[in-house]
Amino acid sequence: MLRRERGREPAPRADRDRAEGGGRPTSDMLVVNDLARAYGGVRAVDGVSFSVPAGSMAGLIGPNGAGKSTVLGMIAGAIRPDRGEILLAGEGIAGWSPVSVARRGVIRTFQTASVFARMTVLENVLLGVPPWHGERLRSAFVGRSAWRREEAAQVKQARELLERLDLGAHADAYAGELSGGQKRLVEIGRAMMAQPRLLLLDEPMAGVSRTLAAPIEALIEELRDGGMTVVLVEHELGLVERLCSPVIVLAQGRVLMQGEMAQLRADPEVRRAYLVG
Amino acid sequence: MSAATQYYTITIVVYVCANVIAAWGLDLQFGVTGVLNFAFIIFQAVGAYTAGVLSLGPSSSSGGFQTYLFGANLPFPLPIIGATLAGGALAAVVGLITLRRLRSDYQAMVMLVVSVVATIVVTAETGLFNGAAGLSLIPNPMQGIAGLSRQTQSWIFTAFCVALMIAIGAVMYAIVYSPHGRVLRAVRENEHALEALGRSATRARIEVFVIGGALAGLSGALLVEFIGAWAPNGWLYPETFVFFTAVIVGGRGSVAGVAIGAALIGVGIQQAVQYMPIGSDPTVLAAVEWIITGALTLVFLWARPQGLLPERRRRFARSVDVAPR
């Protein structure tokens, strides 16, 4: 009755994990080839190519309008590319819907922290768990004792995560009542519950107070050290320098250069296009 | 209890049950999931018409008194089951067309247009459901129980309505306070964030649209089986907003709250107006009902948007293993 994504249903998480790298064998978790997207006459992204090795944290930087969020949006499935290839562990996902991309293990955060405002912080984090059988409509009537046990385990895990994020006291508060930085922590915590293969962080420091900037950075660092593959879009270059390798510089919809931050700072073309001082 | 008092009590109870069931259907769509179904009344209407034609028998048997499609003389409760399925089926068709690609505000506009067009078509096309005159002489569903007085039959039907309402209430609680209910509320709050977590907001909306449509059809069936008649002037598009008011006043997403709202708005206002010192002109009474309904909507949206009984905050028991810092 409902149209399926390109004639196939994304595999459940367990099957997806077994099929990891089911396309071409590769040590890169993410490969982007000649990605392009135009809005009317404006080429927001014009032939972007880069790769992100598995277990690394890649930084995506550039001046405003460089196409960073558009690239992230295309990887996440929110924006359909005009051309190009996006390979997740060797499997092509370009043009897939956000739901399908997420079910393949790509989880993103948004420039403005996207929480479910009139739901509790704990419920927000619980929604980070990958889609499971308890969420089906029929499970509301059948097999209740089974999913109640599973939900209890998820709640325990979520509470432990909230304690780590210093949000344990806010578990039953509505997420909309939190500060901007706390909402960001909830969003990242929710992404951690998903245990993604690829995490896309879109300006995680935007709108965050200095008090919470350090814990958020520590959390992102923990993700990196834990072996998660991350693409980080950020304007705060100090953060990018401390956490990311490689770093990809975009300008006017194209890759200007990629490498280590120290090299990029020294490159005159990059400095002219973006970096000051 | 006098016969008049019994009849009055039965009427109030049946109307409350039908209104509560319908309001729960809209609450699942609008209150829990955020779908603005401005065509809600047509699903109640299709249920009423379906129950009517499945009870009346072929139109030829009435000697041309009324003309309608199909027609069967099915025993209770088959017409009610058929009406529920018809409401759900119509909702599936409308939902698949409107909920897949349109933005939520455009969905609302399209629903309103669908409602207006449906009324015009049914009124103009007498071959469908007897046009503006509607269906009448729909038989009492309990007439098959021999040896009982008409009043006893009415009480049995009333008990059936109450039992059905309680059962539907249990279904609502099961859905709303389950992990599936959590997904539905997330659709309401932020569908893009939900889709970025691998859940389909469109699928969730279509599911609740069908369930809500089925409940609306069921409520229409209960009303038509009790009243014995159904006409287009009983389901004009503004009637949808009576149910919206019930949901807003009662409490969006609150099962118990919406039940209270449906009883107060759907039945309470109508009865209260009868006792006001404004005469007995039906036109005036109806106008005052609408004024009160509209005023309550505005007052609650402005001053008490969470309703009389707000949606319950979902709390989970704390495991002894996880101690707060």
Instruction: Spell out the per-residue pLDDT of chain B, length 325, in tens.
Output: 788 899 999 999 999 999 999 999 999 999 999 999 999 999 999 999 999 999 998 887 777 788 888 888 898 899 999 999 999 999 999 999 999 888 888 888 999 999 999 999 999 998 899 999 999 999 888 877 767 888 888 999 999 999 999 999 999 999 999 999 999 999 999 999 999 999 999 999 999 999 999 999 999 999 999 999 999 988 888 999 999 999 999 999 999 999 999 999 988 998 898 888 888 888 898 899 999 999 999 999 999 999 999 999 999 887 655 444 4
Residue A187 in domain: no
Instruction: Write out chain A residues lying below 8 Å of B183, CB-based.
Output: 127, 135
Same domain? For A73 and A10 the reply is yes
User: Does the pLDDT at position A9 exceed 80?
Assistant: no
Report the 3 state secondary structure along chain A: CCCCHHHCCCCCHHHHHHCCCCCCCCCEEEEEEEEEEEECCEEEEEEEEEEEECCCEEEEECCCCCCHHHHHHHHHCCCCCCEEEEEECCEECCCCCHHHHHHCCEEECCCCCCCCCCCEHHHHHHCCCCCCHHHCHHHHCCCHHHHHHHHHHHHHHHHHHHHHCCCHHHCCCEHHHCCHHHHHHHHHHHHHHCCCCEEEEECCCCCCCHHHHHHHHHHHHHHHHCCCEEEEECCCHHHHHHHCECEEEEECCEEEEEECHHHHHHCHHHHHHCCCC
CA angle A252, A254, A256 (to 5 degrees): 100
Chain B residues with beta carbon closer than 8 angstroms to that of A160: 322
Chain-chain contact of B193 with A110 (C-beta, under 8 angstroms): yes
- The answer to whether residues A98 and B195 touch, using CB atoms and an 8 Å cutoff, is yes
Residue A273: pLDDT above 90?
no
Q: Are residues A268 and A136 in the same domain?
A: no
The confidence band for A63, taking pLDDT boundaries of 50, 70 and 90, is confident
Which residues in chain B are contacts of A178 at CB distance < 8 A?
Answer: none
Q: Which of B194, B198, B325 sits opposite A163 (nearest CB)?
A: B325
The pLDDT value given to residue A96: 96
Q: Which two tokens stand for residue A38?
A: 């135009």
Both A104 and A238 in a single domain?
yes
In sequence order, the 6+-apart residues with CB closer than 8 A to the CB of A76 are A98, A101, A102, A106, A108, A200, B196
Q: pLDDT tens digit string along A77-125?
A: 999 999 999 999 999 999 999 999 999 999 999 989 899 999 999 999 9
End-to-end alpha-carbon separation of chain A, Å?
Answer: 58
Is B170 an interface residue toward A (CB < 8 Å)?
A: no
pLDDT of residue A73: 95
- pLDDT at position A274, please? 66
Q: Residue A214 has what pLDDT?
A: 86
- For position A18, what pLDDT does the model report? 37
* Inside any domain, residue A106: yes
Contact A123 B325 (CB under 8 A): no
Tokens representing A66?
Answer: 């460089």
For chain A, what is the domain count?
Answer: 2
Record: contact A117-B189, CB cut-off 8 A: yes
Residue A129 lies in domain: 119-177
Q: Is residue A148 included in any domain, yes or no?
A: yes
Task: Using an 8 Å CB-CB cutoff, list chain B residues near A174.
Answer: 313
- Opening angle at CA A137, ends B220 and B183, nearest 5: 105
Work out the minimum CA distance from B166 to partner chain A, whole angstroms.
Answer: 16
Q: Does A130 touch chain B (CB under 8 A)?
A: yes
CA of B206 vs chain A CAs: smallest distance (Å): 10
Whether residues A237 and A134 fall in one domain = no
| Chain B residues within 8 A of A156 when measuring between CB atoms | 319, 321-322
Q: Does the pLDDT of residue A14 top 50, yes or no?
A: no
**What are B101's two structure tokens?**
């690609």
Tell me what pLDDT residue B184 has: 97
Contact assignment for A140 to B178 by CB distance below 8 Å: yes
Residues of A in contact with B307 (CB under 8 A): none
Kindly determine whether residue B179 and residue A139, on different chains, have CB atoms separated by under 8 Å.
Answer: yes
Intra-chain end-to-end CA distance of chain B, in Å: 63
Same domain, A27 and A102: yes
Predicted confidence (pLDDT) at residue A19 exceeds the cutoff of 60: no
Q: Do B196 and A107 touch (CB under 8 A)?
A: yes
Q: By CA distance, what is B193's nearest residue in A?
A: A114
Pair A97, A77 in one domain: yes
- Residue A275 confidence (pLDDT) above 70: no
Is A190 inside a domain boundary? no
Instruction: Identify whether A222 is part of a domain.
Output: yes
Q: Give the Cα separation of A232 and A235 in Å (integer).
A: 10
Of B180, B206, B315, the CB nearest to A135: B180
A139 touches chain B (CB under 8 A): yes
Q: Tell me if B130 sits within 8 A of B64, measured CB to CB.
A: no
Same domain for A264 and A208: yes
Q: How far is A118 from chain B (nearest CA, A)?
A: 7
Q: What CATH number does residue A248 fall under?
A: 3.40.50.300
B185 contacts on A by Cβ (under 8 Å): 116, 118-119
Q: Which amino acid is it at A257?
A: M
Q: Is A171 part of a structural domain of the chain?
A: yes
B192 chain-A contacts, CB cut-off 8 A: 78, 98, 110, 114
A99/B325 CB distance under 8 A:
no
pLDDT at B146: 66
- How far, in Å, CA of A37 to CA of A80, rounded? 8
Tokens 């499609």 belong to residue: B69
Residues A37 and A132 in one domain: no
Give how far the C-alpha of residue A107 lies from the chain's centroid of Cα atoms, to the nearest Å. Answer: 4
Residue indicated by tokens 């700072």: A265
Q: What are the chain B neighbours of A128 within 8 Å (beta carbons)?
A: 197
* In chain B, domain spans: 7-236
Residues A105, A11, single domain; the answer is yes
Q: What mean pLDDT comes out for the span A119-134?
A: 96
Query: Does the CB of A180 have a partner CB in chain B at under 8 Å?
Result: no
Closest CA in chain A for residue B199? A99
Q: Which of residues 37-96 of A touch B (CB under 8 A)?
A: 76, 78
Distance (Å) from the alpha carbon of B99 to chain A's nearest alpha carbon: 11
Q: Report how far residue B148's alpha carbon sits from residue B203's, in angstroms, rounded to the nearest whole number.
A: 47
Does residue B135 sit in helix, strand or coil? strand
CB contact under 8 A, A151 and B179: yes
Regarding whether A210 and A103 lie in a shared domain, the answer is yes
What's the confidence (pLDDT) of residue A15?
39
Q: Does residue A260 share a domain with residue A231? A: yes
CA distance B76 to chain A (A): 26
Give mean pLDDT, residues A136-153: 90
> Could you tell me if A134 and A110 lie in one domain?
no
Tens digit of pLDDT for each residue in A199-251?
A: 999 999 888 888 888 888 888 888 888 888 999 999 888 899 999 989 999 98
Q: How many CB pairs under 8 A join A and B?
A: 122
Chain B residues touching residue A102 (CB < 8 angstroms)? 195-198
Taking CB atoms and an 8 Å cutoff, what residues of chain A touch B318?
159
Tell me whether residues B325 and A134 touch, CB distance under 8 A: no
Distance from CA of A219 to the nearest CA of B (A): 18
Provide the pLDDT for residue B104: 82
> Which residue has 């009346």 as its token pair?
B56
Alpha-helix runs per DSSP H in chain B: 3-26, 40-56, 78-98, 104-124, 126-129, 150-176, 179-195, 201-227, 239-250, 255-262, 269-274, 282-303
Strand-pairing partners, residue A48, are: A35
